[in-house]
Structure 1
Amino acid sequence: MDGPELSERERMILAGIEGDLRSDERLDRRLRTLRRGFGPWSGAWSRSGTWTAVLVLGCACLFVRAVATGAPALLWLFSGVWVATAVRLLWLGCAWGRRRAKAWAGTRAPGGGS
């Protein structure tokens, strides 16, 4: 470490601050989800994104099966799953847009034009 070392009092204060930060579960969760990556194992996917992916896969399977057999029950089931999938995709898109807008607003200089 460069520079002067911390005094005993400063180390105690720093330890107290670190302890308070470690006990804040909300902050800990936010810091854990800041990781970059792709997939459910990297923290980039939310639980709702995973369920939407499952709906998309189920919708595709039902579509292929309904077209191959022509059964009216499968066609109706496909249409129901398709609507649910479209609603979930719209919800995820809106949530993504809100996050992007919030991040963009946070990076703008306060009081700046342009």
Structure 2
Amino acid sequence: MDEARLSQRERRILAEIEQALSEDVSLERGMRTMSRKRPRVRRAAAGAGGAGRPGRRHALALSVSLLGMLTLGLLVLAVATGEPVLIWAFAAAWVLTLTGLLRLVIRWSHRLRPKSWPN
């Protein structure tokens, strides 16, 4: 099988492209550290007990779902009865639910962040 030969002009263009790519520092760093699997970042957090449990990743999503259902139930009861205790309980549950949702969105956005973005 005959191999295709590059003309002098094509070799010059290819050399210019290689030179331009070799000067790109961020591309070089990305290529040097590139791997098929993104390495997991382990963070040591105070009170992070149970780090070895398999369902730990989904614990926040499950708790936010349960808090959401609790919040909805408290909202219905607070509107139906008008009791101040139920209104305050709804407000507290709503704040906890929104905080959990914010943490889930932050976690989700970190997973989707391209590797080329600064930390």
Deviation of 1:95 (Å): 0.5
| 1:9-48 alignment, distance < 5 Å | 46-48=58-60
Give the 4+ runs in structure 1 shifted more than 3 A: none
The aligned amino acid for 1:53 is S
Mapped pair 1:66 → 2:78: yes
TM-superposition CA deviations, 1:17-47 (whole Å, max 9, x none): xxxxxxxxxxxxx9xxxxxxxxxxxx8x711
Query: Partner amino acid for 1:56?
Result: G
Task: Establish whether residue 105 from structure 1 lines up as the match of residue 78 from structure 2.
Answer: no
Please give the root-mean-square deviation of Cα atoms over the aligned residues, in Å: 1.9
Aligned position for 1:87 = 99
Structure 2 stretches of 5 or more lacking a match? Answer: 1-39, 41-54
Structure 1 gaps, min length 5:
1-29, 31-42, 107-114
Normalized against structure 1, the TM-score is what?
A: 0.50
For 1:75 and 1:47, the matched residues in 2 are separated by 27
Question: Take 2:104 and 2:73, find their aligned partners in 1: how far apart are those partners?
Answer: 22
User: 1:56 aligned to 61, 68, 87, which one?
Assistant: 68
Q: Distance in 2 between matches of 1:84 and 1:46?
A: 17
Q: Distance in 2 between matches of 1:82 and 1:100?
A: 27
Measure how far apart 1:68 and its partner are.
0.3
Larger Rg: 2
Q: Could you give the per-residue CA deviations for residues 36-88 of structure 1, whole angstroms, max 9, x where no partner exists? A: xxxxxxx8x71110011000000000000000000000000000000000000
SS at match of 1:105: coil
Q: CA deviation at 1:105?
A: 2.5
Aligned residues: 62
Structure in which a larger fraction of residues adopt helix = 1
1:47, 1:100 → 2: CA distance?
A: 20
